[in-house]
Amino acid sequence: MEKLIKLAKENIKNSYSPYSKFPVSAVLELKNGIIYKGVNIENAAYGLANCAERSALFSAYSDGIRKSDIKRILIYTDHDYFVSPCGSCRQVMRELMEDDAEVILVNNRDETKVIRNIELLPLGFSKKDL
C-alpha cells in the first residue's frame, strides 16, 4: 500500500482544480499489479468536470480493463481528514468494479481507511434496474 500512497501523492500535482482548489488523486491497482492513475479535472462549466476516481477507471476501461481485473482503488487528498467518493463516482465504481474491490481512503497524515466497494452504495442502480 505504501507504493500506492506514494504514487497518489506524486500524481496529485496533475490535478486541474483551479476553481475548487481541492485536488484529488486516485490510483487504481489491477490484480496483475498494473496501475492506472487519475486526478480531478475541472472546467469553468462545472458540469463538465471529472473526478479522479472516474478518470482512473475510464482510462483503464479505455485500455480494455474490466471489473474482474481490478483489485482496488486508492483515493488521496491533501487534507487531514478522509474524503470519500462523490455520489457520481460511487455509482460508476459500483458498476465498473466488483462489489468486494477495496476502496482505500488516505489523508495527508498517511492514515488509511479501507472499505469494500459495495459499502459505498449498497443499493446502487444497475443494468438489472433497466
- What is the rounded distance in angstroms from the CA atom of residue 55 to the CA atom of residue 41? 8
H-only helix segments in the chain = 2-11, 52-62, 87-96, 117-120
35-80: per-residue pLDDT in tens?
A: 999 999 999 998 899 999 999 999 999 999 999 999 999 999 999 9
Report the catalytic residues.
Answer: 53
- Domain borders along the chain are 2-129
- Residue 19 scores a pLDDT above 90: yes
Query: What pLDDT sits at residue 127?
Result: 87
- Does the domain at 2-129 match CATH 3.40.50.620? Answer given as no
- What is the rounded distance in angstroms from the CA atom of residue 33 to the CA atom of residue 61? 16
pTM for the whole thing?
0.94
Confidence bin at 126 (pLDDT 50/70/90): confident
The pLDDT mean for the chain works out to 96
Cα atoms in the 13 Å half-sphere on the side-chain side of 72: 14
Query: What pLDDT sits at residue 89?
Result: 97
Confidence bin at 1 (pLDDT 50/70/90): confident
Residue 63 CA to chain centroid, in angstroms? 17
